[in-house]
Amino acid sequence: MIKVSVLIAVYNQEELVIKALKSIPKRDDIEIVVCDDGSTDNTLNNVLHYAANNKDRNINIKHNEGNKGVACTVNRLYDSAKGEYVVLLGSDDYFYIEEFEKAIKELDGTDLVYFNLQINDGTIFRLNEQTKMGYCGSTKFMRRGFIKDTRCLEDKKAGEDYFFYQELLKKNPTEKFTDITLKHYNFPREGSLSYLQRIGAIKWRTFFILETYQKSAE
């Protein structure tokens, strides 16, 4: 039986995606599902090469014809998963293997099992009842039987994980906060989607403040 499906959506990460793959424990009860979203570099070839040289690992590779976007790609990963639980791994992030071994022992049938993130400067984002909405993306194992047919909204260009999480919460999940720092979240990384979203938010906030100031001055 497959206990965990690790799902990786990837686009133009020919080097970092291999580091992500290597960070997943080699266990018979773990499958890896990768979906390449129409990369224009050597990402797909590198993933195929890694799989060919690691035939003892359960690696399932999908490929989108053209760039479909993260929401569509993640949905395809959910559709392909076979594990009791699924967990998302960013193609530029990686797991701490020893902590993964601890975390898998916490998968006891609870619908959502949360873990912590560590970013590039060493800061740890701790997931608990008060902070879970602030870090609603790849911060948890999700029981596939609980997710069922819930999927990301494919018309969302950003924040698709937030809306997906909102739909899960409407289903009243059972939850567990492990306080295990499982994942290295590669942030801030210039050029990444999360970085660009953050810069966009700062620009929007600056525009809003200036607009408000100008109106008050009139």
Q: In tens digits, what is the pLDDT along the chain, a chain of 218 residues?
A: 999 999 999 999 999 999 999 999 999 999 999 999 999 999 999 999 999 999 999 999 999 999 999 999 999 999 999 999 999 999 999 999 999 999 999 999 999 999 999 999 999 999 999 999 988 889 999 999 999 999 999 987 778 899 999 999 999 999 999 999 999 999 975 554 544 444 444 444 444 444 444 444 45
pLDDT at site 93: 97
Nearest one of 28, 162, 182 to 103, comparing CA atoms: 182
Q: Is 116 helix (H, G, I), strand (E, B) or coil?
A: strand
pLDDT at site 199: 45
pLDDT at site 108: 98
pLDDT at site 189: 58
Residue that has been written with the tokens 């006891």 in this structure:
108
C-alpha–C-alpha distance, residues 15 and 138, integer Å: 21
Half-sphere exposure of 61 (CA within 13 A, CB side): 16
Please give the DSSP secondary-structure letter assigned to residue 113. Answer: E
* Torsion angle of C-alpha atoms 132, 136, 139, 143, degrees rounded to 10: 100
Global pTM reads 0.86
pLDDT at site 137: 83
Strand partners, 16: none
Helix 160-169 × helix 70-80 angle, to 10°: 50
C-alpha–C-alpha distance, residues 34 and 26, integer Å: 16
